[in-house]
Amino acid sequence: PRVSIGPDSSLGRGCQLLASHYYKDVRIKIGAHVRVGPYVSFLAAGHDYSQLDLPDTAGSIHVGDYVWIGAGSIILQGVTIGEGAVIGAGSLVSRDVPAYCIAMGAPVRVIKERVIAPLR
């Protein structure tokens, strides 16, 4: 399948997951225990703006386990979001985000490490 979603993961209303029609090997893979806010777009295909005829481009998107992606974020082709990362609402994720980091903005940038509290 071009799109896979791991166990105990949820997507908010209005999310879009758009893999490439042209590049059949491009995938969108969302790990386990992932929370995706409403109106998040996963865009695994695009166009090469350096050429006038705008040929298709594409790159797989990988989201690790235990990730939280805030509402209205856009995840672009070729991006990997590491395990345990948090993406702030409204972010444009155009580059990889390391594991257990909190990142936000347009373009996204890491603002700090995510520290996991002990279970109560």
Cβ atoms 49, 15 nearer than 8 A = no
Catalytic residue among 21, 33, 47, 62: 47
Measured between alpha carbons, how far is 28 from 59 in angstroms, rounded to an integer? Answer: 9
Measured between alpha carbons, how far is 100 from 22 in angstroms, rounded to an integer? Answer: 33
Count CB atoms within 10 A of the CB of residue 95.
14
- Based on the residue annotation, tell me whether 47 is a catalytic residue of this protein: yes
Catalytic (active-site) positions: 47
